[in-house]
Structure 1
């Protein structure tokens, strides 16, 4: 196909799009009932973008009409179904603020929790088997708190049973995330922080599957700190309540986490690490948001320790080498 033909086809498509946009402009003469009926028709047809246009027009043209409040509720749903989650949450907050005594305000609370629940579940998360316990838990915490508000304010709401089930799932997810953080601390040698994280799981996430992991973290960390009494107490609790935990083999504790050691390949050895920063983009230095948050938590926990018991980091143990020293392999130092 020649360039002229391609340009002609592009022009036709552009004109068709422009004409369709003009056709989609809502008639100014439509009554409140007609706008609401149009919105319902679009919702039934899963045409949420058109439904949003109709509902917004209805709300702006007839703010005190008989369908105004219902249109605000259905606008939350339309935004949510079109994956405009921030707009859905803003609409839910606005409805709660304007109509706190509305008989259907519990739906706004429920949808506010659903927007946070769905925030981290984008296209890849829905179709790929990604581990949500290793993701940033900010949205999960928000969703749990918002569902908790619904359950506490409206315990008899028809949305409360579903909210309670989602809260159980979110609590398990948050506990598993903290267990991953504790394992990260063990690998970094931050045994005090790992023991505190394990104890936090045991104290705050009872009846979750991660309690056994929290006890295993405490056993491992206390052993590394030579606190045998605390390690034995945690081990006895683990053996009594979780005899089938993966860290136990024939009743004996076998959970060992070795400190992380990066393997320096031949290319890094040949270049003495000079090209590492050039080859690694800054955004790839930490692969996930969870690792960035865990690194920050580790640094905070380390800085909170007294200087006399703080283990020196590698950068503190060895002075910085100059570029000349690296290029000459230290022969002229």
Structure 2
């Protein structure tokens, strides 16, 4: 690690230590005041303070009119404060307590994002990081979370982004298995390498890693003197991936250790997701206060006497209703 990276890590650690003081929440604040304060903190990107305010709101008014919204905002605040585990736990709790809530899809979405970025902490976001060589557990969890969102709420406003991230995650998982297969080849575990290549071909169809899986099968079977299987895999590789790096003038010449450029397709086929990894997720479209104001306004409009309503009501009156001043509908 270079000196520049060490200085950056030290600065971030110092900043985290300096900002660890828990703010004191005034106990005299009402439910509306607490919720308003949380919104101000979120708008100012002061996510640590927003977490404490929302937690205080939920603890003091667990059955208040802002309780559900506070729980959703808390999931978002945890995520933005780089507390992936807390965000996941809060999302799970909301889904368990409110399975039919109109905004429960948001909880599924943020839960998927939390898993998506679980291995990308504050330090890792500023340092070189090859995700294809790390434990794929978080990637699998994120893929499953997004899959649940799409299966349950296919028309959700968050579904398109979830689908794009699933494409990236599937490519990432396939690339991880490619690295595992090359490791087996390097260690002389040829049967394990061939089996890993077959697993890629069978389970990651329509990903660029299929060509690498076939190359692993050819290399592994050749080393095991299983030439019929090797030739079959080679013909499939030549037919479908004639420009694969393992082929030189159409002949197989496999490299044991994959070069850095071999997995560039992961970034090229990620539908712009890698650039969006550090982008903040959207907050709820409307806050609880905004929805309440709209509802109160609509209730007031509906309570107006019919004679003084304007706009659409006047336009819908019949000819006889107008000339008889409302006596005849």
Pair in the same fold by TM > 0.5: yes
RMSD: 1.5
Where does structure 1 differ by over 3 angstroms across 4 or more consecutive aligned residues?
none
**1:90 corresponds to 2:89:** yes
CA change 1:123–1:47 in 2 (3 A) is: closer
Cα distance in 2 between the residues matched to 1:203 and 1:25: 56
Partner residue in 2 for 1:69: 68
Partners of 2:121 and 2:55 lie apart in 1 by 26
CA distance in 1, matches of 2:102, 2:216: 48
Question: What secondary structure is seen at the aligned counterpart in 2 of 1:119?
Answer: coil
Give the Cα separation in 2 of the matches to 1:130 and 1:186. Answer: 24
CA distance in 2, matches of 1:255, 1:27: 67
Q: Distance in 2 between matches of 1:207 and 1:226?
A: 29
- Measured in 1, the distance between the counterparts of 2:121 and 2:58 equals 29
Instruction: Give the 5 Å matches for 1:96-135.
Output: 96-135=95-134
C-alpha separation between the residues in 2 aligned to 1:52 and 1:254?
Answer: 56
Cα gap change, 1:256/1:54 in structure 2, threshold over 3 Å: closer, same or farther? closer
Q: Are 2:239 and 1:240 aligned?
A: yes
Q: In structure 1, what is the equivalent of residue 197 of structure 2?
A: 198
Match of residue 173 from structure 1: 172
Shift of 1:129: 2.8
Counterpart in the other structure of 1:48 = 47
How far apart, CA to CA, are the structure 2 residues paired with 1:245 and 1:208?
14
- Gaps of at least 5 residues in structure 2 are 1-17, 258-329
Per-residue deviation at 1:188? 1.3
SS of equivalent to 2:117: helix
In the TM superposition, what is the alpha-carbon distance from 1:122 to its structure 2 partner? 1.9
Q: What CA distance in whole angstroms lies between the structure 2 residues aligned with 1:145 and 1:176? A: 18
Change (3 A) 1:217 1:70: same
Shift of residue 85, structure 1, vs aligned partner: 1.1
Alpha carbons of 1:226 and 1:55: their partners in 2 closer, same or farther (altered >3 Å)? Answer: same
1:220–1:256 contact (8 Å) kept in structure 2: no
The corresponding residue for 1:182 is 181
Number of residue pairs the alignment of both structures matches: 238
SS at match of 1:123: coil
| Contact 1:182–1:194 (8 Å) recurs in 2 | yes
Structure-1 residue corresponding to 2:57: 58
- Compared CA separation, residues 211 and 80, structure 1 to 2 (3 A): same
Following the alignment from structure 1 to structure 2, what is the Cα–Cα distance between the partners of residues 201 and 226? 21
Cα distance in 1, alignment partners of residues 180 and 254 from structure 2? 16
Structure 1 residue ranges without an equivalent (≥5): 1-16, 259-333
Per the normalisation by structure 2, the TM-score is 0.70
Give the C-alpha shift of residue 256 in structure 1.
4.2
Q: What is the CA–CA distance in structure 2 between the aligned matches of 1:206 and 1:87, rounded to whole Å?
A: 35
Contact 2:82 2:122 (8 Å CA) reproduced: no
User: C-alpha offsets along residues 202-231 of structure 1, whole Å, 9 cap, x if unaligned?
Assistant: 000011111100000000111111111111
Q: Larger relative CO (CA 8 A, sep 6+): 1 or 2? A: 2
Partner of residue 159, structure 2 = 160
SS of equivalent residue, structure 1 residue 255: coil
